[in-house]
Homo-oligomer: A and B are copies of this chain.
Amino acid sequence: MSKSGCDPNDALACCSTPLVREPMTGARADAVAPLLRALGDPVRLRLMSMVVSHENAEACVCDLLPAFDLSQPTISHHLKVLHETGLLDREKRGVWVYYQARPEALAALAGLFASEDLGMVTGASA
């Protein structure tokens, strides 16, 4: 079960509304912020990038560990955070645990920062 009231599915479902269209409600911000906070750590951001850009868009802990000067429990902890936030999927195959990125999560974040309106915003301020 999840640790708190943050439901990843809920977060993904509501991210489709760009934050430039209208003021974000408190509930929506509470749902989206954990995604950004999870990627707000340099280690987790690198882990996410490594998994996504890895072959077949998946990687096991043994692939990721050598890139850091951190202990294995620490890496495991960060992967767990990314998993609980809904950014990574876990799949155990034999002895190894493979983490896969969830494209819909990244797509949700991309939609959040949808830049279609940004040009309009810049022009409107003049």
A124 to B42, CA, bound (A): 26
Which one of B21, B22, B39, B106 lies within 8 Å of A115 (CB-CB)? B106
Given A24-B45, A53-B21, residue A115 in contact with residue B121 (CB < 8 A): no
The answer, yes or no, to whether A93 is at the interface (CB within 8 Å) is: no
Query: For residues 1 through 43 of chain A, which have their beta carbon under 8 Å from a beta carbon of chain B?
Result: 19-26, 29-30, 32-34, 36-43
A121 to B106, CA, bound (A): 11
Q: What is the interface residue range for chain A against chain B?
A: 35 or more
Q: Is the interface of A mostly helix, strand, loop or mixed?
A: helix
The answer, yes or no, to whether A79 is at the interface (CB within 8 Å) is: no
Query: For residues 57 through 74 of chain A, which have their beta carbon under 8 Å from a beta carbon of chain B?
Result: 57-58, 67
**Residue pair B106, A53 in contact (C-beta under 8 Å):** no
CB-defined interface of A93-116 with B at 8 Å, one 1/0 digit per residue? 000000011010011011001110
**Residue pair A32, B45 in contact (C-beta under 8 Å):** yes
- Tell me, rounded to whole Å, the shortest Cβ–Cβ distance linking A36 to chain B: 4
